[in-house]
Every structure is written in C-alpha cells, then in structure tokens.
Amino acid sequence: METVAPLQEIIDVIKASGGDAFKFCYQCGLCDTVCPWNRVRSFSMRRIIREATFGLTDIETEEMWRCTTCGNCPRQCPRGVKIIEAGVSLRRISTEYGVFPAPVSPVKGVAASLLGKGNPLGEDRDKRAGWAEGLGVKPYSEEMELLYFPGCYLCYDPRLKKVARATASILQKAGVSFGILGDQENCCGESIRKTGDEELFKRLARENIKRFVSGGVRRILVSSPHCYHTFKNEYGEFMVNFEVVHIAPYLSELLASGRLELRGEYGKKVTYHDPCYLGRHNGVYEEPRSVLRQVAGLELEEMADRFEDSLCCGGGGGRIWMETVKGERFSDLRLAQALGVGAEVLATSCPYCITHFEESRIALEDSASIEIKDITEIVADAL
Ligand code: SF4
Ligand code: SF4
C-alpha cells in the first residue's frame, strides 16, 4: 500500500485538515452496516478511519473517494465521529498532493472548468441563461420577491433545463416576481468542497456572495438540495445571512397561501425518492409529499427506504463526476425499488438524483416502464 507519508507527519496533516475527529472512533463498525456501498460491494469506512488514525492513509486507490456523503452513517455512530468531515479531510490531502486515482481523475477537469467558467460541465458562461429562452424571465432586481438560482445542471443539462423551465412557469402562474443572475451565477461550490478543494469552494462562494450583496438579494429560491445545503449551512462561514428556500417547501407554501392552484390532473402512480441533501442533511421530508398529494389523480406509493432511511442515488460527495462501474450503482437499486412498488413515475427533487436515475432507466430492458420526474414537472403538468 502506498501511503502519503509515514505516521506522525500524516497524522498531523489529517489533524490540520479537520480530521481530528477520527480519534473518537472505537471501531464498532456500525457505520459500515448502514453504508449503501455494502449493498453493492464491500466497503469499510471503519477501516479508512482506522488507517488514518495510524497515518496509513492510502491515497492511490479509490477507497477514500467512495463516500457519497449521504449522511446515513454519522447518525448511527455512537461516538459522534464527524465521519463525513473526516473523510473530506483525507481528500484535502489528496487534492493538495495532486493525487487522483483513475476513476476520480475527472475531478481535475471539473475543477478547471469551475475555475474558468463557473460551472463543472465545461459550458460557456454566456449560455448560462439559455434555459430561459422565450420564457420572459428577467434579470434579478432588488424590488423582486426572490432570486431564482437554478444551479449548474438546470442551467446547462438538456434533461434538467426542463426542470428549470417548469419551475419558471409555476412561478409565473403563481404571480411571483422573480429574476435570475444569468451569466453572473456561479456554481454554489458544495460538491467541489466535498472533493477536498476548499480553496476553490471559497472562491466560488465569495463570488456568489459578492453578487448577492451587490444585487440586494434577500431571498434565494433554489432547485438543488446541494445549493440549498451550502447556502443555508455553509455560506454563513462568510458572515452573511440570506433567506434560502428550496423549491419543494416553496411549492407547499404557494399552495397553502392559495397563490398557486392546481386545476389539472396527473393520473399516475408515483413514488417519491428523498434526496440525501434535502432529507437527511436538512430534514425536508413532508413538504414534497404534501405537494404531490395535492395533485388530483396522483397516487402516492412509498418505497421501503424512505425518509431518513432513504437510499442514496450515488451522486453526492463529488461522485456525480466520477465513474461508478456497472453493478455498483445505487440508482439501479433505487429504480428496482420504484418498479417493485408498481410506480409509473419515480419523482424526486434533486438534479443529481434525476441524472443518475435517468442513466439507470436508460439501461433498463424496458426503459419506457417508468418515468423520472422532478416534482416541479409534475406540478407544471397539473396547472
Ligand atoms: S460507527 Fe462511529 S465509532 Fe463505530 S466504527 Fe463507525 S466511526 Fe467508528
Ligand atoms: S456518509 Fe454514506 S456513503 Fe459515506 S461512509 Fe457514511 S453511509 Fe457510506
């Protein structure tokens, strides 16, 4: 096994990178019993922690990059080990040394694109508002109710642009005054931070904050639970405080206040997948279900792994940019669960989940047997 440095030196680096919490681990292995990786292959966070404690971290294999930061194991840990933060601290070391094993190597290109273009997809900045073409969406100005921040995937990905368009049509129907930053919007930085690139995260965050402050932004509406998480829980580190709302609770708010009325029907059997960063990390479980229940004709069916026990799609922690071999994709398991409850539609509220579920759907023998939808697409169909 190749290690970055012997014993004390690496222990000190781990400590300096925020991984000191490892020392509380008493190797009970409960984290491994709930980790989704152990449904598809053998993986041990407990072992990674043990090795790090002795300064024996192997940075040349994929192991320490597997954690999707799904949030399932920290809630089980009897010693309160900050497992996610500790794992990210190891990646910081790898990033510092510039060592990325083959399946992780796309992260290098992603970082370059984020630095140069403000998005991980290598797309041009001036095309960032292309999703809104023909919709009459305005640039944000101070007197508006909210800033809509679609995030990188909804701005550029052809499948996910439909979600941004559905969101805009709902807001317009509800009479919400909103605007966008267009080419002034940057990636929120959540996922690159989880790959250990703290410096790039800070740079992206500072640029976004500068634009929010100079634009007089008070309330930000987001579509991605990853943007939601970092704006709400991490941008505070920069001594700023914006009101952040995710589209799922916001739809619930619009329906409750009567600003949004659903007149149409959606006569399909739907099951809802809780995204890790909306559910486990931020406690939003009820609102998306409440929105779906208000759609006439929609039958909501629950899967076995739901609410805080939801099964990760595999896209968090920067894994969205890494290759996961066939047979090891959590999203394949999730699709099988959705089909198992007879769902015609697997609904969720996260661009990473949709990306992974669409990939799994296409690989199905009968890919027409199920549709993948964001809840905004269902609501837009029922307007
Ligand atoms: S659950 Fe906590 S104490 Fe147990 S092995 Fe995992 S990190 Fe260590
Ligand atoms: S956070 Fe999730 S993916 Fe990461 S080690 Fe824990 S259970 Fe596994």
Instruction: Tell me which amino acid residue 172 is.
Output: Q
Q: Is the pLDDT of residue 14 over 80?
A: no
Using the mean position of ligand 2's atoms as its centre, give its distance from the Cα of residue 73 in Å: 5
Residue 91 is predicted with a pLDDT of 92
pLDDT at position 234: 97
Q: Cα angle at 346 between 189 and 344, to 5 degrees?
A: 160
Count of other CB atoms within 10 angstroms of residue 12: 12
Say which range, 15-19, 95-99, 112-116, 355-359, has the weakest mean pLDDT.
15-19
| Record: fold of 124-253 | Rossmann fold (3.40.50)
CA-nearest residue for atom 3, ligand 2, is 67
Selection from 33, 319, 14, 355 nearest residue 162 by Cα: 355
Residues in the ligand 2 pocket, defined by CB under 6 Å: 31, 34-37, 45, 67-73, 83-84
CA 46–ligand 1 middle distance (angstroms)? 6
Q: Which runs of consecutive H residues, i.e. helices, occur in the chain?
A: 7-16, 30-34, 45-53, 83-97, 106-117, 152-156, 158-173, 190-194, 198-214, 225-229, 247-256, 286-293, 330-340, 351-362, 375-381
- pLDDT tens-digit profile of 317-347? 999 999 999 999 999 999 999 999 999 999 9
CA of 42 to the centre of ligand 2 (A): 13
pTM beyond 0.75: the answer is yes
Ligand nearest to the CA of 23: 1
User: Which ligand 1 atom is the nearest neighbour of the CA of 27?
Assistant: 5
Q: Quick check: 12 pLDDT over 60? A: yes
Tell me the two tokens of residue 80: 């309160």
Which ligand is nearest the CA of 85, by number? 2
Q: How far is the CA of 90 from the centre of ligand 2 (A)?
A: 14
* For helices 7-16 and 83-97, angle between their N-to-C axes, nearest 10 degrees: 110
Between the CA of 107 and the centroid of ligand 1 the distance, in Å, is: 28
Query: Which residue's alpha carbon is nearest to atom 4 within ligand 1?
Result: 28
- State mean pLDDT over 95-124: 95
Sheet of 243-246, strands arranged across? 138-139, 178-180, 146-149, 219-222, 243-246
Q: What's the token pair of residue 95? A: 């990033």
Distance of CA 169 to the CA centre of its chain: 23
Which residues share a beta bridge with 221?
148, 245
| Residue 60, both tokens | 């040349």
Provide the residue ranges of all domains of the chain, joining segments of one domain with +: 7-104, 124-253, 263-381
Supply the CATH classification number for the domain 263-381.
Answer: 3.40.50.10700
Instruction: Decide whether 124-253 matches 263-381 in CATH topology.
Output: yes
Ligand 2 pocket test: pick from 28, 38, 45, 63 the residue with the most ligand atoms within 8 Å of its Cβ. 45
Amino acid at 113: S
What residue ranges line ligand 1, CB within 6 angstroms?
25-31, 46, 49, 76-79, 81, 83
Per-residue pLDDT at 208 exceeds 60: yes
Average of pLDDT values for 242-268?
A: 97
Angle 119-222-254 from CA coordinates, rounded to 5°: 160
Dihedral class, residue 157 (left if φ above 0, else alpha if ψ from -120 to 50, else beta): beta
Torsion of CA 203, 209, 211, 216, to 10 degrees: -170
Q: What is the dihedral of CA 204, 329, 99, 19, to 10 degrees?
A: 70
Q: Which two tokens stand for residue 242?
A: 């914006």
